[in-house]
């Protein structure tokens, strides 16, 4: 299987097994589609696309880390909980930053 095939397999696995990834994909699609509809300056559109991709990438890393840690250390060890919580927090931080970028875009378009 090619490297692209592995990557696509990972995307499909995450989409099938992770409700949070499906929600993030839906949110990213909604953000990009509404941004296209609003027709912001291209730099804002690029920022929305990049932030959406970063959130999805962080969600994929979070999913990979959770599966790896659960497979290697199935009991509830403190270091496993901390690692998984920190990975989830990285998704939250990027998600909040993505929302901030989107709100700043709207602010500039309609109030500046």
Active site residue 59: yes
- Whether the CB-CB separation of 87 and 65 falls below 8 Å is answered with yes
- Whole-number Å distance between alpha carbons of 93 and 35: 21
The H-or-E segment that residue 32 falls in is: helix 19-38
Which of 18, 59, 75, 108 is catalytic? The answer is 59
In 3D, which of 41, 17, 15 has the Cα closest to residue 28? 15
Q: Which residues are catalytic?
A: 59
């Amino acid at each position: 299987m090619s490297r692209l095939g592995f990557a696509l397999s990972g995307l499909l696995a995450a989409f099938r097994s992770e409700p949070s990834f499906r929600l993030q994909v839906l949110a990213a699609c909604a953000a990009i589609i509404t941004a296209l509809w609003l027709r912001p300056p291209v730099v804002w559109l690029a920022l929305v696309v990049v932030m959406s991709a970063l959130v999805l990438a962080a969600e994929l890393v979070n999913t990979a880390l959770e599966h790896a840690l659960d497979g290697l250390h199935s009991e509830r060890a403190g270091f496993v909980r901390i690692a998984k919580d920190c990975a989830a927090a990285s998704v939250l931080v990027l998600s909040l930053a993505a929302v901030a970028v989107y709100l700043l875009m709207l602010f500039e378009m309609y109030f500046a």
